[in-house]
Amino acid sequence: MKSPKKQKRKEKTTKVKAQGLGDTIETITKATGIKKVVDLFMDGKDCGCEERKQKLNTLFRYAITPECLTEAEYEQWGLIRAAMQPDTIRAYERDVIATIHARLFSHKHSTPCSCNKPLWKQWLSDLNKVYESYSPNI
């Protein structure tokens, strides 16, 4: 009598649409095994992949239709937007921006380094476009 083979359970992964060229390159390097080789070679050190991915996503962005703001997000973004200082984003504001942007544009939630000004400018612009698309009487 043969014993039943153990089946490996695949982890459920939620597919996130690629935001730009950086995400596409990351998918290809994972699928081909290049990422594992780089990780092995770098021995746990940061290879700069995440920063490179974000930069490529900013430079070569794909068109994505955003989700709608919830009423709470609309009110929260309105308050933050009114209180923001030019060229300064406080830690709390970065967290809120990253959270709302991730949900609206269906990407993985992460709070980028504050030094990544092009990405923050893009995210602010994205949120403002969505916010301004609503009539004042939400």
Domain ranges of the chain: 21-59, 71-132
Instruction: Give the chain's radius of gyration (CA, Å).
Output: 19
pLDDT of residue 108: 86
pLDDT of residue 76: 96
State the Cα–Cα distance between residues 121 and 58, nearest whole angstrom.
Answer: 10
| pLDDT tens-digit map of 72-105 | 999 999 999 999 988 889 999 999 999 999 999 8
Q: Tell me which residue of 74, 77, 111 sits closest to 94, measured CA to CA.
A: 111
Decide: 62 and 105 in contact? Cβ < 8 Å. no
Share of the chain above pLDDT 90, in %: 46
Task: Give the predicted TM-score (pTM) of the model.
Answer: 0.59
Q: Tell me which residue of 8, 26, 29 sits closest to 18, measured CA to CA.
A: 26
Q: How confident is the model at residue 62 (pLDDT cuts 50, 70, 90)?
A: confident
